[in-house]
Chain A
């Protein structure tokens, strides 16, 4: 095969794709850097991983605090249970792996060892939802559903680098187990352009609008903001409410915003339509007797997703900006 006469390349899936778009502002390793900074004043913090320090930015912590870093090998069940053991001895473990392996393989160990005793372990799991083109083995489309089922577990789904770095000290200050969806590597930086601060348990209005309220978490908030800009060109006024804490939900803010009349409510999430933010919000609204003009979900289908390039897959499953604009317009 000669390079010169080769056919044009088809779109390919990157090994570990960044969710940042071409030319987007990014910040490198917000989690690793924030943890290193926090650890200076918190000598109880330890870092633990299951052979994925380099791929979760925890290698920065390992480098800064080699004595406080524990490589547990590619053994996620051990990772969770040993982190529980560390916490029982008064330490504050920040542990990392990929979201699929942490949640699916080690579920019982999170549930029984960590959560049932309310141990102070911070689970920081990378590749949330559809952030890799590797197929179902690596796509954590169900992590929120599983983690929401664990009593007492606080769940955070940050949007960007700012969210991640502010969430690190916030979840450390919270006494109890936390599951955080981790964005690593070159992470988009978006929220610094808004008057925004991460607060655990709080949803924040990022922009207001009369026609549509997009309620979102994770990088779908970034998509929601771009979608709102696009919709404006079509004379559609969209508000964006970012809810990075999935559990417990900020019921007060959400109910207050949804109760405002005449808006289509769209919950947008990088997760299966089963068991994530959309269902959590739907339940909250129904149980509280608050009825929006209409309610729709933008989420991944209840299916084993394809392998392929991320932009292709985001289009295919309706979570790209283009797909979101089209769908929201069709619902109005």
Chain B
């Protein structure tokens, strides 16, 4: 928003709650979806769109906006929820999620959706695109930030590390990379698919300012965004968020971890009810 610093924490908790709720509603429309990822990433999206970023809901292509790149295109359900919360997409479009001729396809595409900056999904492309946009913005003397949102699976791709090296080389202080470390990939836990630890040391060795925090701890997420934005050094910034898939819905948090979390038809409404209940308790 134009004056982000006045948003108090409870509002962000509200936003995270509604982002989770919208994502579950979209999951119910399809009967499936990357909802485990959306629930885990909701707090980061709430802070990005409710606190950190500069944008105009009614003018998604405003030149002064901070750019948010959804590199992990399969997280589209999460970003749609955030874009609805941000007022960029009307809530009524929820029901079209993943349907024929909808503006909300299963995998995020720039040509379909207002506020979707890139067509992600071929994983490992967001950060290289972000390098180019950050170079371009700096060239234009545009003070906007580029946020690249990516998954931990994308750490496997060589293109990510080509971009990491390039961003440091060019001193891209307007580039902030957000990594969802949910320890999940298609074939199993990321640590078993391709170990990437010690991850903070790797980014630091590549020349980045690094923070690693609990991505479901809202005050910590806010602080990390503030630190990344306010840093005075001429280097790119990465925030490594450890998140819990299914966060906020205990029966999903505890379910066998999977790239596609299994949700039975009746469970969508149960999940929404649990979410509503814990929101009411917090308000008390």
A interface residues, Cβ below 8 angstroms from B: 1, 3, 6-7, 9-15, 49-55, 59, 71-75, 77-78, 100-101, 104-105, 133-138, 306-309, 312
Contact = CB atoms under 8 A, between A and B. Distances in A.
A16 to B, nearest CB: 8
Contacts of B186: 51-52, 54-55, 74
Interface stretch (B116-124, B201-209, B236-244): B116-124
Contact of B121 (A10, A11, A50, A138): A138
A307 B122 contact: no
A308 B101 contact: yes
Given A11-B99, A13-B106, A74-B123, 4 more contacts: A6-B95, A52-B186, A306-B101, A307-B112
Given A11-B99, A71-B187, A77 B106 contact: no
B32 interface: yes
A10 B99 contact: yes
B106 A133 contact: yes
A6 B265 CA distance: 14
Nearest to B32: A15
Contacts of B157: 74-75
Interface residues of B, number: 40
A134 B260 CA distance: 15
A114 B30 CA distance: 41
Interface string B102-145: 10011101001000000111111000000000000000000000
B185 A51 contact: yes
Contacts of A307: 105-107, 109, 112
A14 B105 CA distance: 11
Given A15-B260, A51-B185, A100-B122, A74 B153 contact: yes
Nearest to B258: A54
Given A15-B106, A71-B193, A134-B121, A3 B269 contact: yes
A59 B109 CA distance: 30
A137 B121 contact: yes
A134 B106 contact: yes
B193 A51 contact: yes
A275 to B, nearest CB: 20
Contacts of B96: 10
A264 B107 CA distance: 40
A1 B94 CA distance: 10
Contacts of A1: 25, 28, 94-95
Nearest to B99: A10
A134 B119 CA distance: 11
B99 A137 contact: no
B149 to A, nearest CB: 16
Contacts of A101: 122
Nearest to B151: A74
A55 B74 CA distance: 15
Interface core residue of B73, B98, B121, B124 (most chain A CB under 10 Å): B98
